[in-house]
Structure 1
Amino acid sequence: MKNLFDKTDPVIVKTGFVGFMTIIAAQLGILFPVLVLLLLCMVVDYITGIISAGYHGKIKSSVGLWGIVKKLLYAVIVAVAIACDWVIINVAEQVGIIIPADTFFGLLVSLWLIFNELISILENLIEMEMTLPGFLIALVDKFKHLIENQGSAAVDAVNVKDKENE
């Protein structure tokens, strides 16, 4: 008995996948490559974490499972930030304010998580006694804080406008 996958043409599957990814990329705009990079960083961090745990003989399935859950929760955080962008942009448009950006908080959160993952990758490498240039760690940490400050400044700007309207 043949199953559905035996009858499926690989060209149709590839075409469908490419079409689906094109639609997603068009909807997310500038956020799409950033999210792909975030996904790549999350995978590399998970792999280096497993290698580091194996290096120290501390591999535990519960810790590995928590790592996967944590990465999935990062996706929830990004989704909430994207939803905030959508709400802000659409509400502003309803009251006649045009915001020239498609995303702000989604992009900031994604970039912050990328730098967080890069720091974690570097920490995993350091735990395996690899020598890394100190400036690299400082640079990644500096960019993480720069992005965090940009998000805080945006929230502060909203707070100032809110107090002016009272």
Structure 2
Amino acid sequence: MSSSISMYSASIPVFIRAFRGLDHVLRLGEAHALERGSDPRELLQARLVEDMFPLVRQVQVATDMARNGASRLAGRDVVSVPDDETDFDQLHVRIARTTAHLEAFAPARIDGSESRPITLRVGDAEMAFEGRDYLLGFVLPNLYFHVTTAYAILRQAGVPLGKPDFFGRAMPTRPGST
């Protein structure tokens, strides 16, 4: 017996869960900075290495990836959002708005998009996909790269995070499970 998962189930709920965890670790990061007497805005400019985006940009790219990905899968135009956040409150609002945008998609808008042609420009290159490959080979890996990098930046900055925090504390805590 063969089973399949819908494009909606493989995208929208997955994106929303990733943002629940991202929002959670950002709250912990801000609280950590305040507890240490640091300006939380400085943490937004932290990077893993010099040639990588800072924390604020990791969040912006992750939200763009999911918002634009869902729109393209649904056959809708991509809406540009300014990348002008300068504090944690603004990032939480960005995540909340992205989540609301995602929640507005009915499953029927996304399901059936497996073979929908999707073309986008990345730098000077044009990339052409069918919906399934776009979701599984481009959107999801990019989303998790940027969410994971945001988590890693906070860890590197000394924020006491564990694996359950990445999931918004959805997992039980076990000693040594980070």
Tell me the TM-score range normalised by the shorter chain: 0.3 to 0.5
Larger Rg: 1
Which has a greater percent of helix? Answer: 1
Which has a greater percent of strand? Answer: 2
